[in-house]
């Protein structure tokens, strides 16, 4: 059983569509991370959140600690949003180690 589950695994959208990627986790956490992996392979951190909602441009991340669920939304999607989005939660009592989801591969078609 994976500690972090993401859905969907793959997602194709038309440019301009509203996109939602989901992440469920089974461990107690202090914060959850959303990462973006570009087609070339490099990874950047998008959000770190421990409650409520955060917004950065067209990206919105929400978390419900009680339900152990987080969502990443992309409004007005664009082809440059095409990437793999990864959810990660810290492992308890391990310093700075994480459980990583398998990622959601998003393709936005012009």
Contacting positions for other proteins (CB under 8 A) = 2, 4, 30-31, 33, 35, 40-45, 48, 50, 86, 88, 90, 95-103
- Measure Cα distances from 102 to 37, 51, 78, 105, 107 in Å: 12, 23, 23, 9, 16
- Cβ proximity to other proteins, 17 vs 22, nearer residue: 22
Smallest distance, other proteins to C-beta of residue 45, A: 5
**Shortest CB 10 distance to other proteins, Å:** 11
Q: Which one, 61 or 77, has the nearer CB to other proteins?
A: 61
Nearer to other proteins, 43 or 76 (CB): 43
**3-class secondary structure for 8-57?**
CCEEEEECCCCEEEEEEECCCCCCEEEEEECCCCCEEEEEEECCEEEEEC
């Amino acid at each position: 059983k994976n500690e972090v589950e993401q859905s969907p695994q793959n997602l194709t959208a038309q440019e301009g569509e509203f996109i939602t990627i989901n992440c469920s986790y089974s461990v107690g956490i202090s914060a959850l991370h959303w990462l973006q992996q570009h087609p070339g392979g490099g990874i950047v951190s998008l959000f770190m959140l421990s409650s409520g909602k955060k917004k950065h441009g067209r990206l919105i991340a929400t978390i419900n600690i009680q339900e152990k669920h987080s969502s990443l939304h992309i409004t007005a999607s664009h082809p440059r949003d095409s990437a793999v989005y990864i959810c990660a939660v810290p492992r308890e009592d391990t310093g700075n180690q994480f459980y990583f989801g398998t990622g959601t591969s998003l393709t936005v078609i012009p």
